[in-house]
Structure 1
Amino acid sequence: MYNAVLSAQNLVFRFARSGASGSNIHGNVIKEQKIESNADIHYFSTGTNAKADTTVLEESLFYRGEKIIDTAEIMLPGPHNLQNVCAAVIAAKLFDISTDDIVKVLKTFAGVEHRMENVGSIAGITFINDSKATNVDSVCYALRSVKTNLYLIAGGRDKDSDFRPLIRYGKDNIKSIIAIGEAKDKLFQTLGNNYPVLFADSLEEAVGKSFELATPGDTIMLSPGCASFDMFENFEHRGRAFKNAVADLKNGKNKNETINQK
């Protein structure tokens, strides 16, 4: 990661969180790179930080005082993606991309595969593939992005993680956790006093159990917080397996049939 940051010779971004004095995780590397390359540093904030090139004020995103877009119109969900958008707008403006073109992309870009990927709905229940979330921090960001009742599929190969932050970030929407893989016992031990934790022996079984529990308006999300190597080749393989399980529900079963087969 250090070398990857140092290779960015032309544009360097530093995140200035509104109301906080800290820089992002690469702050020290950025300072070294500025000395070495004399690159300009551009600031972004999801608040109204006076040093920032992009800011968010009254639910609208601005670039140096110019309104770009209302945040409700941005297709990518979640506060972490709003940070990404703020940085991307700076990059686009530095390359003289028009505001109209920026807005078109922000209204239509749905993100990358396996990262908060909406894979459709069945019987009013939304399915999200967040297989790329291989650590607890990523799961917490995902939880902040979902506003509905949530059935969380989590687990896999533990990275010696502390799952306790899920208590704080999931308290408003997690209805149940369906635990898979080698970490399922640890998930139960850590979170079982806060949420119902069910076990599943496969991802397909986890999708089926979640679907049985959910009601219209709810969300089922795969956001494992673990590595995939106990059950899959990689997180992409795990994400495809989740999408295949959802497709099986769409193609062969409705919710009542699934419940009747329990």
Structure 2
Amino acid sequence: MNNTRYQNQNIVVLGAGLSGSAAALLLRSEDAQVTLLDSAEEQNLLKSTVDNLRTHGVGVICGAAADEDSATYHMAILSPGIDPASRLACNFSSRGIEMISELELGWRSSEIPVIAVTGTNGKTTTTELLAEMLNACGQRTIACGNIGKPLSEVAREKKPFDVLTVEVSSFQLEAIRTFRPSISLWLNFAPDHLDRYRSVADYRAAKLRIFENQMESDVAIVNAIEKLPAVRPRKITFSAYADQADFRVSQGAIVYQDEPILRLADTKLRGLHNIENLMATLAAGMARGLSFEEMVAPLCAYEPRPHRCEFVREVGGVEYVNDSKATNLDAVDKALRAQNKPVILIAGGKDKGFSFDPLRPLVKEKVRSTILIGEMAENIRRSWNGAVECEIANSLADAVERAHATAGPGEVVLFSPGTSSFDMFKSYGDRGDQFRALVRALPKTDR
């Protein structure tokens, strides 16, 4: 690897989050002159992050001065949290300065093959599932990218992995140039992030860039029900809903070309969406040369992660399920379809620019009552008015109390917000942790 590829180049990094900081430190390790810009005031950034950057020779400029920086740079690195249409980014793109994503930078600095996982929902579960399985089967890897360590940090550490298992988001794919995964996974697509994209088509176009640089010798693993444009790599298909797929469901098992591979009852993952995550993982392992026999045991041992249809507790015959990771309508759809009991649904959160109308028929079918929170509460009530009883709570604690009072034995209280958490919480994890704590604090009830 060329460790001085950026020697004496003046490079700017936009954004002081995990990805931006990782990019800046990688560039310094490759002898670049690095300036990091962030529109936030310095007192609003983590002091330890800023101090560490400056210790490594990174210039840090914050606030209004960052937006107005007029220096000349060889290249700009865009953190995924920075909108390309923002004033900060446009200051450089409008001057013709090459702009690439942190994902692209990490890719250029690593010589390790990449498995890239994208999809509106299921990316994190599949990335973690795949990484655990590969490691258990003797192929050294790490789950990184949009989860865990940014790709730039992994590239800087130079550990001897056989392959990198990288979760990639649309934000990361927006500014790639040469990023080429040897194996790409397209799990699913549904409208999301319309607070950043002008249209669903723009969001989809960003995600489709995962295939852009793949060659015929590469592999694309795609959901068979997705209508995707033609791609160059060899295609492997999967679906829990379609009969015409390489991996599908038959008689309680995942089958590959009609041969049973994995019995659904043997896995700890539930719901057809998770069955598809398993299928995609099996396909990726197959593309890496693994046998089905060696893959099945680690897949069946995998424990579901928190905040993804996580069973919390049963109180008085009522099950409480934490699905705080549901930040879009497709995730709520999948969570509702996974339930086989009447549902008391707690939903709502930050307004991301989309309507909850598409869920109306399913909510009418599966949900007995809804309790709504956050910025979207009133909009959701308008969308579902007449289909289901809706009430608005003034906090998550209030919502849990209302659900506890409403739900009866044999029902499920499902917390599946359907949108982002940032109107009331630090993250979906914080939101889920608070829900879990509130449920665990409920008194035992004899009904």
Q: Report the TM range for the smaller structure's normalisation.
A: 0.7 to 0.9
Question: Would you say 1:189 and 2:368 are equivalent positions?
Answer: no
Q: Which has the higher contact order (CA 8 A, sep 6+)?
A: 1
Question: Would you say 1:44 and 2:238 are equivalent positions?
Answer: yes
- Matching residue of 1:229: 422
The alpha-carbon distance between structure 1 residues 7 and 221, as it changes in their structure 2 partners (threshold 3 A), is farther
The structure 1 segments of at least 4 consecutive aligned residues displaced by more than 6 Å after TM superposition are none
- Counterpart AA for 1:12: S
- Matching residue of 2:344: 151
Question: Which of these residues, 181, 205, 209, is aligned with residue 29 of structure 1?
Answer: 209
User: Whose helix proportion is higher, 1 or 2?
Assistant: 1
Q: CA deviation at 1:197?
A: 0.7
Whole-Å separation in 2 of the counterparts to 1:113 and 1:200? 24
Question: Which of these residues, 41, 54, 63, is aligned with residue 247 of structure 2?
Answer: 54
Structure 2 unaligned segments of length 5 or more: list them. Answer: 1-168, 189-203, 220-233
Q: CA deviation at 1:57?
A: 2.2
Q: CA deviation at 1:210?
A: 0.7
Equivalent residues of 1:212, 1:255 under 8 A apart:
no
Question: Which of these residues, 173, 183, 187, is aligned with residue 11 of structure 1?
Answer: 183
- Counterpart AA for 1:10: S
- Matching residue of 1:142: 335
Q: CA deviation at 1:43?
A: 2.0
Give the number of the structure whose alpha-carbon radius of gyration is greater.
Answer: 2
Whole-Å separation in 1 of the counterparts to 2:211 and 2:263? 32
Equivalent residues of 2:182, 2:214 under 8 A apart:
no
Q: CA deviation at 1:212?
A: 1.3
- Counterpart AA for 1:9: P
Equivalent residues of 2:187, 2:277 under 8 A apart:
no
- Matching residue of 1:178: 371
TM-score (norm 1): 0.81
Whole-Å separation in 1 of the counterparts to 2:185 and 2:246? 11
TM-score (norm 2): 0.50
C-alpha offsets along residues 99-139 of structure 1, whole Å, 9 cap, x if unaligned? 45533344343422212112222222111111111112211
The alpha-carbon distance between structure 1 residues 28 and 190, as it changes in their structure 2 partners (threshold 3 A), is closer
Question: Would you say 1:202 and 2:379 are equivalent positions?
Answer: no
Equivalent residues of 1:140, 1:165 under 8 A apart:
no
Whole-Å separation in 2 of the counterparts to 1:187 and 1:255? 31
How many residues in Structure 1 have an aligned counterpart in Structure 2?
A: 243
